[in-house]
Amino acid sequence: MRLISRRSADALTDLWLAGPATLAMLVLIFIPVAIVAMLSFTDYQFGARSFNWIGFDNYLVLITDPQARRAITNTILYAAIVIPFSILFGLLVALGLHGLMQYAPRLSAILRAAYFLPVAATLVAMAVVWQMMLHPNLGLVNQMLGAAGIRGPAWLSDRGLVLYTLAVIGVWQTVGYNMVLFLAGLAAIPQHLYDAAEVDGADRGWERFWTVTWPMLGPTTLFVTVVTATGAFRVFETVATLTRGGPAFASDVLVYAIYREGFVYFKAGYSSAITMVFFAFVLLFTVVKFRFMEKRVHYR
């Protein structure tokens, strides 16, 4: 007589396999999110022995505070620049290196390593390098512009230019990672699809890309878009290292505002409210992307 049924054995096996990961997600993700959501309705400050429930007051302050609105606007603008350009340049670089691999594999490998270097390097160290390069008087960028007869601006201290400068750095940082993902997607496309497209008359490079390459890169593009968007919305290191949200909050973003309010001013309740707004932005963007792009993705 069997002590346990087949269905119960399968259930125990599934629980054994999925249980540790589920427990880790519960402890490291869901419970902290619940705690942050609870704190967002309080006036708790780090180090205080008590707190009061204040309802939606933190969210009302967040809506009416010009600095908070500026952080939200800057985050959206930064993401609107970084997401499309890093995906586009990553795809273009991947296409070029994929084609170069057939004729000069060693050169292609060297270029892949060069493009991937910003991803592998420590971002804080790279930010320091950018700070030196963008120095208004001694920086390499302005010296090169001066040699061409152009007066270089103050890239990191101009209120109208600083956010775009950080966005360019963000694109530079992300292109290498997107390139690797697109290269993997290109390598997985079967050659016989290109042969069939050529037989049907699609013998030009653009026609081959539009009829075969781009549709087959659908799953890769969806993944790259979600990963790039998540990274763009949570930009922090470059802002903290290069500008600290300045000048005059011109480069302030949501994640840096969370850090400043929570760990500089010790306003844990208000910082938690900003965190929940940030979480809502990322979640909404991810859901919208999956909803509209999933229908156009071709899974092979």
CA-wise closest residue to 60 among 269, 292, 213, 248: 269
- CA–CA gap between residue 233 and residue 133 (Å, rounded): 25
Collapsing DSSP states into helix, strand and coil, what is residue 190? Answer: coil
**pLDDT for the residue numbered 253:** 94
CA-wise closest residue to 82 among 177, 157, 166, 181: 166
**pLDDT for the residue numbered 1:** 41
DSSP string, 131-173: HHHT-TTT-HHHHHHHHTT-----TTT-TTTHHHHHHHHHHHH
Q: What is the pLDDT along the chain (300 residues), one digit of tens a residue?
A: 455 677 777 777 878 888 888 889 889 888 998 999 999 999 999 878 888 999 899 999 888 888 889 999 999 999 999 999 999 999 999 999 988 888 888 888 898 888 888 888 877 788 888 989 998 888 899 999 988 888 889 899 999 999 999 999 999 999 999 999 999 999 888 888 888 877 777 777 788 888 888 888 988 998 899 899 989 998 998 999 899 998 889 999 999 999 999 999 999 999 999 999 888 888 888 787 777 766 665 555
- CA–CA gap between residue 285 and residue 279 (Å, rounded): 10
Class of CATH domain 61-296: mainly alpha
Cis peptide leading into residue 84 (ω within 30°)? no
Beta strand residue intervals within the chain, DSSP E? none
Q: Is the dihedral of CA 99, 216, 213, 112 positive or negative?
A: negative
CA-wise closest residue to 211 among 181, 187, 182, 189: 189
- CA–CA gap between residue 268 and residue 255 (Å, rounded): 14
- Identity of residue 240: A
Determine the number of helices (DSSP H) and then strands (DSSP E) in the chain.
15, 0
CA 160 to chain centre: 23
How much is the pTM? 0.87
**pLDDT for the residue numbered 296:** 60
Residues in the chain: 300
The set of residues, in sequence order, having a beta carbon less than 8 Å from that of 143 and lying 6+ positions away, is 152
- CA–CA gap between residue 246 and residue 154 (Å, rounded): 13
Other Cβ atoms less than 10 A from the Cβ of 19: the count is: 11
**pLDDT for the residue numbered 295:** 60
The set of residues, in sequence order, having a beta carbon less than 8 Å from that of 79 and lying 6+ positions away, is 229, 232, 233
- The CB-side HSE value for 52 (13 A sphere, CA atoms) comes to 3
**pLDDT for the residue numbered 297:** 59
- CA–CA gap between residue 143 and residue 71 (Å, rounded): 32
